[in-house]
Amino acid sequence: MSIKLRLIILSFLQFAVWGAYLTSMGGYLAGVGIGNNIGWFYSVQGFVSIFMPGLIGIVADRWIQGQRLLGFCHFIAAAGMLMVAQTGMSMGAEVTFGQIFPWYVLSVAFYMPTLALSNAVSYNAIEREGLDPIKAFPPIRIFGTIGFIVSMWIVDLCGFQHSYVQFFVSALWSIILGCYAFTLPPCAIKPHTESKGIVEALGLDAFKLFKQRKMALFFIFSMFLGVSLQITNGYANPFISSFAAMPEYQDVYFVDHANLLISLSQISETLCILLIPFFLKRYGIKRVMLIAMVAWAFRFGFFAIGNPSFPAVTWFILSMIVYGVAFDFFNISGSLFVNNETDSSIRSSAQGLFMIMTNGIGASIGMLIAQAVVNNFTYSQEAGGQFYTVGEWPIVWGIFAAYALLVAIFFALIFKEKNQ
């Protein structure tokens, strides 16, 4: 088997683990009556992303080969997810936040570092074959998104999106990947003199970039935009599924198959990556980042005016399409901006800081704020033996859209790109 095919399998499995529950977990939590805690389940992913990848990276550098550590991390993540599923199965609708949340934290604490670790393992294998990572890795990484989508579809079409079984599916993917990781090419352990210290591994040495006004503004706005990143992952499914509580929508296809509709977001994300070189060349990094911020406003705004029935479902579909622009344009253009504006000696740390500000601090705070907003304007209602989060959803999405638009306006007025 060629190394590219082996790494394609790695990428597919890596994101299939996540796709099994990331967009449908909110529907399950709402269905068992603990939807008012959805924000905590998504924000903890950001909190552990602040420090766990750096710590696991140090272990991989100094003591345990990367591919083996990848396997160990997935086994631990699977164990935590199995306990979430087992608890959900045994307690049924009586399950509580305190019973499943600690096991979920254990699982994501060891899964989130594998996102970076699997990349490192892939880069190592590519370089061992004498290939160029810049050319070889992107086509491999696309299969990660495909794995995410396939896992979403399996959960949806098998009727698991409101069930604890989605966590069993995620655990199964993790166990398969944990075993598979031990078959991958070995990663070298660096001498202690070459391995990163804790400050560098966590990206903390890049905080000196805050002394530069432009970089400080960029990282602050990255955090503000990061607030939006996980909101629809957590709340799109319970929102779309909530229409089942209304008799006129009970037979509408996408009410029962919200994950299929949401998967259009991931498909859009894959396609929009191809547009980025054209937009960057034509409009520059600042304008591309601004387009992404405005796209987030449309992402939320379309949810506010649509519903799952035809023709209003068109607004939902447009929201899914625009997600690719909102997510990819900022993440990739922002990463390129950091790469262009920082010295090579701290470039890796600066990229780590960018991730901390967006996917760490921003996304974590954002989900807790989103939880407060949703809980203020919605309530749990039982229908057909299941709970749904119903209420003033248009107001909720309108608030999120207004926030994203304000961030875009302030970014356009305050942030000045180099040589502009």
Q: What is the pLDDT of residues 307-339, one digit of tens each?
A: 999 899 999 999 999 998 998 888 877 877 887
Higher pLDDT, 177 or 192: 177
- How far, CA to CA in Å, does 16 sit from each of 9, 78, 115? 10, 13, 12
| Lowest-confidence region among 10-19, 94-103, 340-349, 390-399 | 340-349
**Alpha helix ranges (H) inside 274-392:** 276-305, 313-341, 347-355, 363-377
> Would you state the pLDDT for residue 420?
43
pLDDT at residue 351 greater than cutoff 50: yes
Q: Is the bond preceding 311 in cis, omega lying within 30 degrees of 0?
A: yes
The Cα–Cα gap between 64 and 182 comes to 12
If you average pLDDT over every residue of the chain, what do you get?
A: 89
Q: Tens digit of pLDDT for each residue in 224-266?
A: 999 999 999 999 999 999 999 998 998 899 999 999 999 999 9
For the chain, give the percent of residues with pLDDT over 90.
61
Q: Tens digit of pLDDT for each residue in 87-109?
A: 999 999 899 999 999 999 999 99
The Cα–Cα gap between 27 and 261 comes to 14
**384: left (phi > 0), else alpha (psi -120 to 50), else beta?**
left
- CB distance 383 to 245 below 8 Å: yes
pLDDT at residue 156 greater than cutoff 70: yes
| Lowest-confidence region among 166-170, 180-184, 211-215 | 211-215
Structural domains of the chain sorted by starting position, each given as residue range(s) with its CATH number in brackets: 1-187+195-202 (1.20.1250.20), 204-420 (1.20.1250.20)
* Residue 419 phi, psi dihedral angles, 5° rounding: 65, 20
Q: Is 123 exposed, middle or buried, given 0-12, 13-18 or 19+ CB atoms closer than 10 A?
A: middle
Residue 213 confidence class, pLDDT cut points 50, 70, 90 = confident
The Cα–Cα gap between 265 and 27 comes to 17
Q: Of 124, 139, 231, 104, nearest to 181 (Cα)?
A: 124
